[in-house]
Amino acid sequence: MVKRVLIIGGYGNFGSYIARSLASDPAIRLLIGGRSVEKAERFITSLETANPAEAHRIDIDADVGAALAAMAPDIVVHTTGPFQTQDYRVARACIEQGCHYLDLADARDFVAQIGSLDAAAKAKGVLIVSGASSVPCLTAAVIDHYLPGFERLDRIDYGISAAQQTNRGLATTSAILSYVGKPFEMIRDGRPHSVFGWQDTHSERYPELGRRWFGNCDIPDLALFPSRYPQLQNLRFAAGHELAILHFGTWLLGWAVRTGLIQSLAPHAERLLRIAFLFDWMGTSRSGFHMYLSGQGKSGGQKTARLFLIARAGHGPYIPCMPAILLARKLARGEIDHVGATPCLDLIGLDEYLAALKGLDISVMADSVHG
């Protein structure tokens, strides 16, 4: 039986990647939703679909329940951010409608507290998954893959470096800018420690990409991982622009927020995004992800495991979109029995995740060092 999969924001930045990946699946009929039916219809003409796609108007700030009742989706993929300023109205509407729900949220509290809907989701027999994206799905999958090789995992240090010449949406920009210069907690020396967004500037040298700069970013992992991996003494996630001039420009603006000269950068997201586009000629379409795990190995010595993902040709956005793509396919085929509300943990293993990236211009590089 063909399942109706609604992508909210289906013609947008991440939604379009997910739609193109699911379009040819014979088990799926795509419903492309957004505030503009005209944009949805134009986007549908660019798709090669196994089943006829549909264009629908849906506004998450309006009556989502009525819209879902009219469309009758089996699965909803919510891609319209920023999630830092949203509540669970879309997820609740999906529970009431009796359809599964996936989102690409990167907001710390939004993802970490999705379990508050668990009882309601179980009562309706639906799966509600938040954070079906790089964080926490990919990051936890990497840790879980390497964890059996550690007697004690002490430190996790990881980050994402975005390509300058890639699709950058206003919602993602607003999400990042919402915490630039603002305080939040990371685990340092086994205790919560206050840090500031886009500060603690440091660089990492990537294979092929060379040196990239990073600053602190607030993500769901920082709330989820201390209890999931209780031996951790240090946990740091960071992100950065490909171009140093933009990275340090954001760093300076972060200081303006930290010192109170600017309350928040989020209201200025559209203008700052337009400025960033002016520098595209200086950049590339290559993005990167790195994760370093260190601690005591099984033999008693120091052990470090490292993993890099290098994405070229603008394929970087497929990495955060892949969990939603994989889960939508599984749900459409009835391959997931789990119901309830959960962050996107323990649903996709690292091997499955990386196998899904094959065919894209994305390389995986990994090694382990024993002291």
Give tens-digit pLDDT for 174-204: 888 898 999 999 999 999 999 999 999 999 9
Which pLDDT belongs to residue 7? Answer: 98
Residue 61 backbone phi and psi in degrees, to 5: -90, 0
Q: Which residue has the higher pLDDT, 82 or 346?
A: 346
Q: How far apart are CA 123 and CA 78, in angstroms?
A: 21
Domains observed in the chain:
3-134+317-355 (3.40.50.720), 135-315+361-370 (3.30.360.10)
As a whole number, mean pLDDT of residues 270-285 equals: 91
Residue 238 backbone phi and psi in degrees, to 5: -145, 160
Which pLDDT belongs to residue 175? Answer: 84
Of 183, 186, 161, the C-alpha closest to 247 is: 161
Which pLDDT belongs to residue 368? Answer: 64
pLDDT tens per residue, range 89-113: 999 999 999 999 999 999 999 999 9
Largest CA-CA distance found in the chain, in angstroms, rounded: 62
pLDDT tens per residue, range 251-266: 999 999 999 999 999 9
Model confidence at 215: pLDDT above 70: yes
Structure tokens belonging to residue 307:
């993993």
pLDDT tens per residue, range 107-166: 999 999 999 999 999 999 999 999 999 999 999 999 999 999 999 999 999 999 999 987
DSSP 8-state symbol, 254: H
List Cβ neighbours of 359 (8 Å cut-off, separation of 6 or more): none
As a whole number, mean pLDDT of residues 243-255 equals: 95
Determine contact, residues 127/100, Cβ cutoff 8 Å: yes
Buried b (16+ CB within 10 A) or exposed e, 211-236: ebbbbbbbbbbbbbbbeebeebeebb
Task: Give the three-class secondary structure for 203.
Answer: strand
H or E element, residue 101: strand 100-103
As a whole number, mean pLDDT of residues 228-253 equals: 95
Q: How far apart are CA 223 and CA 225, in angstroms?
A: 6
Q: How far apart are CA 257 and CA 214, in angstroms?
A: 18
Q: How far apart are CA 39 and CA 22, in angstroms?
A: 19
Determine contact, residues 18/79, Cβ cutoff 8 Å: yes
DSSP 8-state symbol, 124: H
pLDDT tens per residue, range 12-65: 989 999 999 999 999 999 999 999 999 999 999 999 999 999 999 999 988 899
How would you classify the pairing of strands 100-103 and 75-78?
Answer: parallel
Which pLDDT belongs to residue 370? Answer: 55
Residue 214 backbone phi and psi in degrees, to 5: -140, 155
Which pLDDT belongs to residue 298? Answer: 87
Task: Give the three-class secondary structure for 86.
Answer: coil
pLDDT-based confidence at residue 369 (cuts at 50, 70, 90): low
Q: Which residue has the higher pLDDT, 171 or 212?
A: 212
